[in-house]
Structure 1
């Protein structure tokens, strides 16, 4: 199966789509759109995925990089959503992407208050019960437990010493953008045409009008799936969205003693919202996440954390640290928009309680356009399955039932097989069985002091559809999360693009 999103393949796909008729045009190349493209293509439908910028260019690269079981949903009484999250986490960890997801301990220290850690322990045990109730969940993660002061010091060295805590477990993605790329490449292996840099400007009946490389393109579609996230209203203005902004701060891991667990601190005044200090490969920690309403139309550019969000995150985590973080410790930050759906029963005003809005997704038909919006990264596959079920019913063709719950993404293999891959562990955790090929393309470091290699950049442009420096540094690798490192990497990235003659 050919999974390469090479420049040559893109050129063929663009040429082949001009005036073509396909079963499904998917608008949006985030995790939802890529998941829909894979589900539809694997059921035998002809598929074109059109993305305005790049794969994972929007919300899907700004998450907390977690595949979580929905403890917060339990706090809101959304048992069904929690079970769906736990089930989909088990699917990712056990079948579809075990190379991209690893178990991560979350520590709630007694330093945050013994009542807080006790509540976290109760929530963790409820989460364990939900996990035990879904297929593949029982053995996927360890169980919640209390830990002693020495365990707290070992797992999260930056916490004030002398007290114990509670540890529960969840799933952590190596990288959210890499999941999206893997989905798109797997969809391509099933015949989907994946075209980035394709701006859909209008849908007129069954005709999709797009602009690609400065040229107008018209495609006839049986169904158009609108998976544009917070920008979905451009094709479906009747959908009621209440976008919110989630922000993270980036700090060096050694500033927190290089933790191996996610430090978990409740937001003051809340019993269901937490700030996490999430350890990352490569010596960084992401500190998040906020939930702030966004007023007015959502702009195309990347959002930025507000000054108030920065202070809120620092103040919250500093409650339990021996040496408080300051703004001078920040080496980067990022923010993303959540496409939250306003319930039909709500009034005309959206209000400001985005943190309390459900993370359920919405399916809505408007003529030949089916909008799928909302939900969570963890549940992308379930959203895609429901979407394509509706598409198959509308078209009257295609396989009725999906197989994506047992369909490995490119690079995936059982954990025992991944452990035998002859390549550095870091590359295996990002590329799975393809890690030896990535290593062979060049082991030199892109930036001194960082782990990313020139081979990763070359692999991105030859196999993963990267077309610009931003694609390379901000999505295929995440060097761009530290602006000072990104500046040092631009020259190398530009040289790799030029050597492969990837930009016309």
Structure 2
């Protein structure tokens, strides 16, 4: 794999010069996992590629999912066998080849509430395992295992005895979605793509009935440049229709937003060794192990309000607590909650008014010459979505486009990961950190871990834990600013790390120490440090108050009143 370039201030300046001076074959709009995947796919096919994101990489849907790489067990009931098979293949591809440092197997229990369910659930999971084994790349994840009620409660003692008659254990996988998306974007940069966040498309240029480029505004400075491109790919998720309005003309499909809310609770609040999947009257509810925490969710409701900062209401949180408490011996309360986050699923609009019934298939369209739109799908299938989009690009590109090769392109940090894992003790000894710290870093950065730690060579104080968030080291935050494109404090606390949802103070206690640690990298003076800290605190306060609001409209009104670190025009103007 080529050298992974740092996404820091110097690279940012070069990237803006490249946008202004070069002509690109593919310009991708949207820095979520789909857009990052398109950029990687195009760059590895030899196309001159640029990626622009108005806010931060993964700042929308791609940092607010259930953090699972899974086949979508529930889609078997609607006979979406092709979708499930594709997702299972992508799950195993990431676990074994593309991102073994980021995507990890995780066991789940499927509790059975009636004896007659066992044959039905067993048949479904047998099919699930079988689809995963078709063309498997290596040893598949462990198969399902039948459990009695006693056996299930040994694995998950927190389950009420009367909540199940037995269970089936099966395996899926999980990843930190924001870190994975960022890694896809950095891998695209390693293969030559120009990658920028805080870069908002504000206009499209036309000539001869086709799109020939865009105008991009630097959200941080207000500077604007015109960018020439043979094809522009709209990979903006829930903003797909907004960007199409900016392009002009009618789109070939429409996207609806479905809000999914998750809560995060400390690991000791639930006594269990596996995840859980529970059926509700509307969808499914996951209880997912997440380091020293659990993630519990999700909801599935239509959302028509602010797309940049979807708000979780008290009703959302009460819904999650009500349903998970039906099966727990010790009920969770609002006081147990460490963090809450809400994300929007981009669903292709259909005939049904229920978002839970809309398709998770993806679609690719060419609404006019020079524009490709890709939307829908699910996080796990980002790579085939991207490949289909770049296949469609070939119509408008003036030279032959070779087939996709991303199924053989390990993400940054994957190559050498296994060897480094075997030398974990030596890595810990070299840097004078505990074994668990070295393992934590390796599972976030893979073989790039020495690059992260090297920032502490001249400043050993960076190997100290983050104040108020001791699971992370200060060097990780500095690395986020110097190598991972972070522009603001919330980029660091909400996406480069998960401090915003993993600490009771939601990052407030860490904000000023982190801001001061990265100030030298990002060129912040005292006033900028103060502004960043105050803005972050205001964000947390608004989120807390919105989560006490009774319904969506009340929660949205509270959340959008908080100051926004990025003054993005298009997302607000067209909502």
**Per the shorter chain, which TM-score range?**
over 0.9
Residue 135 of structure 1 deviates from its aligned partner by: 3.3
**4+ residue runs over 4 A deviation:** 115-118
1:218 maps to what in 2? 226
1:202 maps to what in 2? 203
Residue 470 of structure 1 deviates from its aligned partner by: 0.8
Residue 235 of structure 1 deviates from its aligned partner by: 2.0
Q: 1:497 aligns with which of 518, 526, 529?
A: 518
Between the aligned partners of 1:117 and 1:435, the Cα distance in structure 2 is 45
Residue 311 of structure 1 deviates from its aligned partner by: 1.8
Between the aligned partners of 1:307 and 1:189, the Cα distance in structure 2 is 43
Residue 2 of structure 1 deviates from its aligned partner by: 3.4
Task: For residues 137-184 of structure 1, give each alpha carbon's deviation from its aligned partner in whole angstroms, at most 9, with x where no partner exists.
Answer: x622000111244543343231124854210111111x0001111111
Task: For residues 348-407 of structure 1, give each alpha carbon's deviation from its aligned partner in whole angstroms, at most 9, with x where no partner exists.
Answer: xxx531101110111111221111111111000000111111112321425411110010
Q: 1:227 aligns with which of 235, 238, 242?
A: 235
Name the SS of the counterpart of 1:480 in structure 2: helix
Between the aligned partners of 1:156 and 1:382, the Cα distance in structure 2 is 36
Q: 2:388 aligns with which of 382, 386, 389?
A: 386
Does the 8 A contact of 2:339 with 2:506 survive in 1? no
Does the 8 A contact of 2:235 with 2:374 survive in 1? yes
Does the 8 A contact of 1:106 with 1:263 survive in 2? yes
User: Are 2:285 and 1:279 aligned?
Assistant: no
Does the 8 A contact of 1:359 with 1:374 survive in 2? yes
Name the SS of the counterpart of 1:220 in structure 2: strand
Residue 421 of structure 1 deviates from its aligned partner by: 4.3
Equivalent residues in 2 for 1:120-159, closer than 5 Å: 120-136=121-137, 139-159=139-159
Residue 332 of structure 1 deviates from its aligned partner by: 1.6
Between the aligned partners of 1:201 and 1:115, the Cα distance in structure 2 is 57
Between the aligned partners of 1:18 and 1:76, the Cα distance in structure 2 is 48
Does the 8 A contact of 1:200 with 1:208 survive in 2? yes
Task: For residues 250-289 of structure 1, give each alpha carbon's deviation from its aligned partner in whole angstroms, at most 9, with x where no partner exists.
Answer: 11110002x331122210x35xx321111101x1111011
Could you say if the C-alpha distance between residues 305 and 448 of structure 1 is closer, same or farther in structure 2, counting changes exceeding 3 Å? closer
1:484 maps to what in 2? 505
Residue 477 of structure 1 deviates from its aligned partner by: 0.4
Between the aligned partners of 2:379 and 2:450, the Cα distance in structure 1 is 28
Does the 8 A contact of 1:203 with 1:235 survive in 2? no
TM-score by length of 2: 0.81
Between the aligned partners of 1:143 and 1:176, the Cα distance in structure 2 is 25
Between the aligned partners of 1:312 and 1:474, the Cα distance in structure 2 is 24
Q: Which runs of 5+ in 2 are unaligned?
A: 207-211, 246-250, 428-437, 457-461, 526-575
Equivalent residues in 2 for 1:337-352, closer than 5 Å: 337-343=344-350, 346=351, 351-352=352-353
TM-score by length of 1: 0.92
Between the aligned partners of 1:286 and 1:57, the Cα distance in structure 2 is 19
Does the 8 A contact of 2:133 with 2:140 survive in 1? no
Q: 2:318 aligns with which of 311, 317, 321?
A: 311
**Which structure would you say has the larger RCO, counting Cα contacts within 8 Å and 6 or more residues apart?**
1
Name the SS of the counterpart of 2:58 in structure 1: coil
Residue 300 of structure 1 deviates from its aligned partner by: 4.0
2:565 maps to what in 1? none
Task: For residues 226-248 of structure 1, give each alpha carbon's deviation from its aligned partner in whole angstroms, at most 9, with x where no partner exists.
Answer: 01110111222433122110110
2:481 maps to what in 1? 461
Equivalent residues in 2 for 1:53-202, closer than 5 Å: 53-110=55-112, 112-116=113-117, 118-136=119-137, 139-161=139-161, 164-173=166-175, 175-202=176-203
1:400 maps to what in 2? 402
Between the aligned partners of 1:372 and 1:503, the Cα distance in structure 2 is 37
Could you say if the C-alpha distance between residues 161 and 425 of structure 1 is closer, same or farther in structure 2, counting changes exceeding 3 Å? farther
- Alignment coverage as a number of residue pairs: 488
Between the aligned partners of 1:503 and 1:131, the Cα distance in structure 2 is 49
Does the 8 A contact of 1:438 with 1:455 survive in 2? yes
Between the aligned partners of 1:215 and 1:414, the Cα distance in structure 2 is 40
Between the aligned partners of 1:54 and 1:449, the Cα distance in structure 2 is 22
Name the SS of the counterpart of 1:339 in structure 2: strand
Q: Which runs of 5+ in 1 are unaligned?
A: none
Name the SS of the counterpart of 2:517 in structure 1: helix
Between the aligned partners of 1:331 and 1:301, the Cα distance in structure 2 is 22
Could you say if the C-alpha distance between residues 414 and 108 of structure 1 is closer, same or farther in structure 2, counting changes exceeding 3 Å? farther
Residue 449 of structure 1 deviates from its aligned partner by: 5.6
Name the SS of the counterpart of 2:172 in structure 1: strand
Name the SS of the counterpart of 1:471 in structure 2: helix
Between the aligned partners of 1:236 and 1:27, the Cα distance in structure 2 is 11
1:292 maps to what in 2? 301
Task: For residues 395-425 of structure 1, give each alpha carbon's deviation from its aligned partner in whole angstroms, at most 9, with x where no partner exists.
Answer: 1425411110010000003774352243421
Q: Over aligned residues, Cα RMSD in angstroms?
A: 1.9
Name the SS of the counterpart of 1:290 in structure 2: coil
1:472 maps to what in 2? 492
Does the 8 A contact of 1:108 with 1:117 survive in 2? no
Residue 120 of structure 1 deviates from its aligned partner by: 3.1
Between the aligned partners of 1:414 and 1:145, the Cα distance in structure 2 is 33
User: Are 2:275 and 1:262 aligned?
Assistant: yes
Does the 8 A contact of 1:86 with 1:134 survive in 2? no
Between the aligned partners of 1:182 and 1:274, the Cα distance in structure 2 is 29
